Structure 1
Amino acid sequence: MRNPLCLPWARMARCLAVPLVVILALAGCSGTQVLNALASSNTYTLQADVPYGPEPRHRLDIYLPTRPAATPAPVVVFFYGGTWREGSRKDYLFVGEALASRGIMAVVADYQLYPAVTYPSFLHDSAKAVAWTARHIAGLGGDPNKLFVMGHSAGGYNAAMVALDPRWLGAEGLSPGILAGWLGLAGPYDFLPIENPDVMPVFSFPGTPTDSQPINHASAQAPRTFLRAGTGDTAVEPQRNTMQLARLLGEAGVKVDFRLYSGVGHVMMAGSLAWPLRAWAPVLDDVSAFVLAPP
């Protein structure tokens, strides 16, 4: 029988990570505070509170990799989840740090939330943040020709709509053609009729237009696509959302990098980007491989 003290590294890391996070959570920290507290501060230089538009929540934080690079860094604009009702870019330092640790410049953007706004205002905000990045990131050492948009949960929806529906970047004088790719983590891409009472007023249900759904914008014009979800996700059903969108895009001829992680839940799809939870699922490895791959 295998010696229990000689567990494979991945299993051992998972055993150690949970008690550590629980201890810090019991000390009064939220989940994201715990992950941010554990993140390295040596992998990035932070440019915080950069305005990309006129509203108070039109702000973004930029994580510049400290790793020396011979060429400009690829850039990922990240949108967080929270049912379009809550969230702050400051809660996602662990995401910015994770990407910067792999030599990727990360832009973590706020957007306006319900009840201050409803659909589609947060999509206009998301496109505005991407447009600002496309026009200014070269001055910070980023490569505008290697620009990606990425999101988790509700942020995955935002990323999908910016990448797949040309209306939003079009309002900024650009098109999804500026993107080298997009990445969705456990995003809702097909959720009509809306059943979640928290989401109903955000999308003015039952008057929600059908063109609000990313699956209705799957076409051959879509950028290269990365889709991930977990089989343990009970918040956003992975087969209906992630698997269906991957199938539709693939049938349209789009290059799709698709995978379901066994047993991984909704929150852990983003949480596993952080140390010490990276052994839970290879999300960071997979994201990095997609972003850093040759065109």
Structure 2
Amino acid sequence: MSVRLAASLTLGLVAVAALGAAATYAWAVRNQSVATLDWIDSRFARPVATLPPVRRSYGDDPQQIVAVYRPAGVANPPLVIFIHGGGWQNGSPADYGFVARAFAQGGYATALVGYRLGDAGRFPAMLEDSAAAVRWLLDHASELGVSTETLLLSGHSAGAYNAVMLALDRQWLGREGVPDDIVKGVAALAGPYDFYPWDSDYSRAAFGGWSDPRQTQPIAFARGDAPPLLLVTGDADETVRPRNSQVLAARQAELGARAEIRVLPGFSHAGTLTHLARPFDRDRREIDAVMTFFDSIALNPASAAVQAAVS
């Protein structure tokens, strides 16, 4: 790379950083280029490198894919399954490598999960696919070099919905023959959990034709014996209002489950994703909360049951 090109690239990255996380993400979504955010992140070195991802299909649809990232130098790392957002209409695991690189800093492998979108992905297809991906990853964990002993779920926006529904409504993983206690915790970022009557064109498109709307709502499946939840939201989120996380956390706590909530001042809907990427992760509030939550489970597998019992 020439000195001039390197200087131009550096100036470009500085300019992007100056836009701020929300503006950058908004631009990326508007231009159907979350991949741009991933590219920016990849230009910045991290202390822990990630091995090249392993990409596989778990079904016949082109969107039924997983991309598995492992931290270099870590044998058999615990696995986080991350499900992307996009209003159940768009998105791809290929664009979210920055999430895997962020989680790798804590020693976690990450499987980025895709699922059918648009008309093909209407409820309950997005949950059927997410559960099928979990089943596939469990079956192939050994060859992928990851541990599912303390399996963790995560996701952003629509993906957070998918992850939380898998944890709360037993039927989806149950249909795939996945043991009820396999999911040890869920870190859900800016997800919708109590949004009926439908609150957006996205939710109407994905759920509007279902005969019993209550069956689509995570809040309806709150239970005291659920896996621990970390619900992260921003007080400036106008896309998925913080109320979604607040009411679910309150209901889970009322039932005796472990449910933590982090309402981050100044974070928009976009911010709860972009602050996982460099250079925006200089604000450590979100990533530190997620890593602390993961570690509380993965470093002490018995903690979930103990903490639920004493809640």
TM-score when normalising by structure 2: 0.82
* Corresponding position of 2:105: 101
Shift of 1:112: 0.2
Q: Is the 8 A contact 1:123 1:161 kept in 2?
A: yes
Distance in 1 between residues matched to 2:269 and 2:286, nearest whole Å = 13
What is the 5 A alignment of 1:68-217?
68-69=74-75, 72-205=76-209, 207-217=211-221
Aligned residues: 278
Distance in 1 between residues matched to 2:32 and 2:127, nearest whole Å = 31
Once structures 1 and 2 are overlaid, which stretch shifts more, 266-275 or 38-47? 38-47
Q: Alignment partner for residue 72 of structure 2, among 60, 63, 66? A: 66
* Corresponding position of 2:287: 284
Shift of 1:23: 9.4
* Corresponding position of 1:17: 17
| Counterparts in 2 of 1:136 and 1:17: CA distance versus 1, 3 Å | same
Deviation string 1:38-89 (CA, Å, 9 cap, x unpaired) is 32486111233211223221111000110335xx311110011111000011
| Counterparts in 2 of 1:181 and 1:20: CA distance versus 1, 3 Å | closer
The alignment status of 1:247 with 2:253, answered yes or no, reads no
Q: Give the SS at the match of 1:201.
A: helix
Unmatched segments (≥5 aa) in structure 2: 1-13, 302-311
Q: Give the SS at the match of 1:180.
A: strand
TM-score when normalising by structure 1: 0.86
Q: Is the 8 A contact 2:103 2:110 kept in 1?
A: yes
Once structures 1 and 2 are overlaid, which stretch shifts more, 244-253 or 167-176? 167-176
Q: Is the 8 A contact 1:35 1:94 kept in 2?
A: yes
Q: State, as a whole percentage, how many aligned pairs show the same letter.
A: 33
Once structures 1 and 2 are overlaid, which stretch shifts more, 34-43 or 210-219? 34-43
The alignment status of 1:275 with 2:278, answered yes or no, reads yes
When the two chains are superposed, the root-mean-square deviation of aligned CA atoms in Å is: 2.6
Deviation string 1:116-165 (CA, Å, 9 cap, x unpaired) is 23100110000011111222223333221110111110000000111110
The alignment status of 1:55 with 2:58, answered yes or no, reads no
Q: Alignment partner for residue 39 of structure 2, among 36, 47, 51? A: 36
Shift of 1:281: 4.8
Shift of 1:212: 0.9
Letter in structure 1 aligned against 2:231: L
Unmatched segments (≥5 aa) in structure 1: 1-13
Distance in 1 between residues matched to 2:158 and 2:24, nearest whole Å = 29
| Counterparts in 2 of 1:205 and 1:196: CA distance versus 1, 3 Å | farther
Bigger helix fraction: 2
Q: Is the 8 A contact 1:194 1:205 kept in 2?
A: no
Deviation string 1:241-262 (CA, Å, 9 cap, x unpaired) is 0011101111111112221101
* Corresponding position of 2:7: none
